[in-house]
C-alpha cells in the first residue's frame, strides 16, 4: 500500500513538473522584463549604462545607433550576445533597465489603453452579425 501511494505521488510530481516547464511566456515591448530594441521616438533621452556606444564589428558606413535593453550578462559579454539582437556591426547604447521600467512601461501602457478604448464596443456581448443560427455549418434547421 505504501509503495503504491509513493508511486502515485512520484507520478503526480513528475506531471506537475512537466506542466510547469511547458508554460510559454512572451514578454512584449512595454512590459517589465522586456529585453530588446527600443525605438526612442517621443520618449525623453534614456539613461544609459555607458556614455559611449559599443561596436563589435567595424564597418565603413555606420547606421543610426541602436538603443537596447539587455540583461546585465549580455552587456558584460556583448561580443558573445550581439548577434541575438542583430547588432554586432552597429553602434549600441545600452539603456538602463530601471529607466525603461519607470518611464517607457507606464507611458506605453497609458497609450495602449487609450488606443484600445472603444466606448461601449468590444465588451464581448455581441451575438454575432446576424449570419446563421450558430448551429454548425450545414444547411439544415436545428
The structural domains of the chain, with segments of one domain joined by +, span 27-116
Query: Could you tell me the three cell numbers for 17?
Result: 513538473
Strands 92-94 and 66-69: parallel
pLDDT, tens only, 32-70:
777 777 777 777 788 888 788 878 877 777 788 899 999
Query: Could you tell me the three cell numbers for 127?
Result: 451575438
| Torsion on CA atoms 23, 69, 79, 72, rounded to nearest 10 | -80
According to the model, what pLDDT value does residue 50 have? 78
pLDDT, tens only, 67-105:
999 999 999 999 999 999 989 888 999 999 999 999 888
pTM of the model: 0.50
Phi, psi of 124 (to 5 degrees): 80, 15
Q: What are the residues facing 94 on neighbouring strands? A: 68
Amino acid at each position: 500500500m505504501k509503495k503504491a501511494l509513493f508511486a502515485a505521488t512520484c507520478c503526480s510530481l513528475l506531471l506537475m513538473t512537466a506542466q510547469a516547464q511547458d508554460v510559454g511566456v512572451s514578454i512584449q515591448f512595454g512590459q517589465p522584463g522586456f529585453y530588446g530594441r527600443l525605438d526612442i521616438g517621443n520618449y525623453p533621452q534614456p539613461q544609459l549604462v555607458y556614455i559611449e556606444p559599443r561596436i563589435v564589428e567595424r564597418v565603413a558606413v555606420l547606421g543610426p545607433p541602436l538603443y537596447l535593453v539587455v540583461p546585465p550578462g549580455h552587456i558584460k559579454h556583448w561580443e558573445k550576445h550581439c548577434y541575438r539582437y542583430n547588432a554586432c556591426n552597429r553602434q549600441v547604447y545600452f539603456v538602463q533597465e530601471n529607466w525603461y521600467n519607470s518611464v517607457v512601461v507606464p507611458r506605453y501602457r497609458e497609450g495602449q489603453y487609450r488606443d484600445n478604448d472603444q466606448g461601449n464596443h468590444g465588451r464581448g456581448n455581441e451575438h454575432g452579425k446576424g449570419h446563421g443560427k450558430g448551429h454548425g455549418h450545414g444547411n439544415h434547421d436545428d
